[in-house]
Amino acid sequence: MRHIAAFLDRDGVINRRKIGGYITTPDEFILLPEAPEGIALLNSIGVLVIVVTNQRGIERGVMTEEDLKQVHRFMIAELKKQGARIDDILFCPHSTGYYRKPSPGMILAAAERHQIELPSSFTIGDTDTDILAGKAAGTRTILITPERKTDIEADFYAESLYEAAELIRRKITPHR
């Protein structure tokens, strides 16, 4: 059986971005409003939730892979407290390469690992690199942006992860 997934960028979609830097410790990680509810909604309709995040701060020596894993363990625990589940996390610690967005490598690797039907799935991000990666992988794309005016051509637009999850719910369960 093939699955439907939502491939989520992390910074700017699940949590607040750290302006001019990297989130290197759990105390810097702040969930965005409605992000847990959006993830929980995706969970409730059977959509796999997979985080795909560029984290070149590792390559730059700003943080270690263990620092990143600690942040991710914290994120998972905080989301779990609010009834939300992440099914997998993929990250790219490099500045270039097949796995670094806008290349589709992380999405394609997750699709193979979890038997995901890419044309029925969605990539949700807040930057052009997220949208380009989703398009290159063959998913539908949702740009998280407070304004509808943008040069980035996504398939859909939403103001929050929850709004994106509602859009996905309507697309995959249109008669409910």
Q: Point out the residues that are catalytic.
A: 9, 11
Q: Is 156 helix (H, G, I), strand (E, B) or coil?
A: strand
Query: H-helix or E-strand containing 57?
Result: none
Distance (Å, whole) CA 174 – CA 161: 19
Element at 43 (helix H, strand E):
helix 35-44
Alpha carbons 142 and 83: distance in angstroms, whole number: 23
Cα 176 from Cα 174, distance rounded (Å): 6
